[in-house]
Amino acid sequence: MEKNTKLGKRFQGKVAIVTASTQGIGFGIAERLGLEGASVVISSRKQQNVDEAAEKLRAKGIEVLAVVCHVSNAEQRKNLIDKTIQKYGKIDVVVSNAAVNPSIDPILKTEDSILDKLWEINVKSTILLLKDAAPHLKKGSSVVLIGSVVAFNPPPTMAMYGVTKTAVLGLTKALATEMAPDTRVNCVVPGSVPTYFTSFLTDNDALREEIEGKTLMRRLGTTEDMAAATAFLASDDASYITGENLVVSGGIPSRL
C-alpha cells in the first residue's frame, strides 16, 4: 500500500471490523481502512496470526485491536463485537471476508460435513455476525461482504464454493433491504487475486496465464485493488449505493 501516498482520510474517527484479516485480501482491506484513518479490528482463528498482523499495521501508524475469532464459533463472534464496543464504543463498518474452500470435488460427491462447513463459514457466519453487530450499527454505517466472480458461473473445481458465493450475492440484496435506511450493505466481487487462498490456481504458471488471458487488463488482481473497492463502498463516497455487487475482476466476463 506504500505506493499510494495520497490516500484521503475518509474513515477518520470511524471503527471498522474486518474478519479473516491477517493475510491476503482481508489484511489488505484492514490496512487500507486504517491508512485512511479508521481504528481497525482485525481477527482470525490463531492468536499468533492476529498478533503478527497487528504488529505490521501498527508499524504503519494504524490503530488496531486484534481479536481471535473463528467466525463459526458463537462465543468468539460475540467476543469480537463485545471487545470492539468495550474499546471504541461503536461500530461504523463491518467487512465480512471469511471464507473456505476445503474441497474440489463435484457437488454431488462432496461429503455432508464439507457441505455444512462451506455453508456455515461462507454464508451463515456472516448472518450470525451481523445479528451480533446490528444493534451497534447506527445511521450512516456500512457493511461490505466479500464475494467471488465464480459466483456467476461456478467452475467444476470450485463448484460448491461458487454456489455459496452465489448465495452471498443474494444475501447482499436481502440484507440491504432489511438494514435500510441506516446501514448500507454492498458486496465486492473479486476476480482472481494471488493469495494463499488461491495459490492452487495462481502458482501454476499455465493456469495463471490462462486466467490472465481471460481478463481485459491482462493481469491478475491485487489485494490493493480489492481493498480500494471495499474502502469506496464502505465510505461516505458511496452514501447512495446499497444492495450492489461490485465486480472487481479486470474485465473477466461475469454478467451483462
DSSP helix/strand/coil, 47: helix
CB 196 within 8 A of CB 203: no
36 phi and psi, to 5 degrees? -90, 10
The amino acid at 56: K
Which residue in the block uniquely carries the three cell numbers 448500507? Answer: 184
Q: Which helix (H) or strand (E) covers residue 139, if one does?
A: strand 137-146
- For 204, the grid coordinates are 501454476
Q: What are the helix (H) ranges across 89-222? A: 112-119, 125-133, 159-179, 199-202, 205-214
CA-to-CA distance for 177 and 102, rounded, in angstroms?
A: 32
CA-to-CA distance for 128 and 123, rounded, in angstroms?
A: 9
Q: Please, what is the end-to-end C-alpha distance for the chain in angstroms?
A: 32
The catalytic residues are: 161
Which residue in the block uniquely carries the three cell numbers 463459514? Answer: 121
